[in-house]
Amino acid sequence: MVDKPFFERSSTEVAEDLGLRVLRFSKKGLLHVPKETKSVVITQIVPYGTEQRYQPERTANEKLKKSVEKAFREPGVIDMYFGRFGYVLAISTGKEGEYSEISIHGAFPLSGFDQSGLHDLLGPLKLTKEMGIDKQMAIVLDGQPIYDNPMIQISDAKLSGTSRFDPKKVSPSALGSYYFSRSR
């Protein structure tokens, strides 16, 4: 599984290297039990940070907005934040105290899902919902390291494939999106 040094790089480096890795989640903390685990291949990642001189949003009295505070955590720590209709899985990158993180926006299901309706999980809210990360699980995961966690892991090995970067921003703080496709 990936470790803390993996996340001690810029958000763009982590995003580029995170694609086509397997993300596994077990609500019961039983990642070793296939029937209790959902696995996906990560296919879309959005990096956020100060790499392109972006300054995090602040309130009128110059305090950081609550929506960006967690991106300053130590590298590899999970930031589960609530989007408009659900939870987004983000992970801090870079250095502690620096605004830098990635969010996982898309994946392809591998196991643990209903096989009849197997399709890409596009969008960060659809991904967490289909993986079973609800409000209760978001609270449990938030602030925990992803590299030493009994409920969620990212593989060391990467599947073969291709990637492309789209500079179109999904929000003012996004640096663009990385998209990944598996080789057939």
Q: 46-74, pLDDT tens digit by residue?
A: 998 877 666 777 778 888 777 777 888 99
Confidence of residue 184 (pLDDT cuts 50, 70, 90): low
CA angle, 3 then 4 then 8, to 5°:
130
Q: Give the whole-angstrom CA distance, residue 18 versus residue 180.
A: 10
The structure tokens listed for 61 are: 């009295």
Tens digits of residue pLDDT in 84-126: 778 999 999 999 988 899 999 999 999 998 775 567 888 899 9
Centre a 10 Å sphere on the Cβ of residue 37 and count the other Cβ atoms it contains: 20
Dihedral sign for Cα 164, 149, 75, 79, please. positive
Tens digits of residue pLDDT in 5-50: 999 999 999 999 999 999 999 999 999 898 899 999 999 999 988 7
CATH classification of 4-182 is 3.10.300.10, yes or no? yes
10 near 78, Cβ under 8 Å?
no
Tens digits of residue pLDDT in 122-179: 889 999 999 999 999 999 999 999 999 999 999 999 999 999 999 887 777 788 899 9
Q: Which pLDDT score, from 0 to 100, does residue 117 have?
A: 59
Dihedrals phi, psi of 17, to nearest 5 degrees? -90, -15
Domain ranges of the chain: 4-182
112 near 127, Cβ under 8 Å?
no
The structure tokens listed for 3 are: 């470790």
Q: Which residues are bridge partners to 107 per DSSP?
A: 42, 121
Q: Which pLDDT score, from 0 to 100, does residue 139 have?
A: 94
Q: Where are the beta strands (DSSP E) in the chain?
A: 21-25, 38-49, 78-82, 87-92, 100-111, 121-122, 152-158, 161-166, 177-182
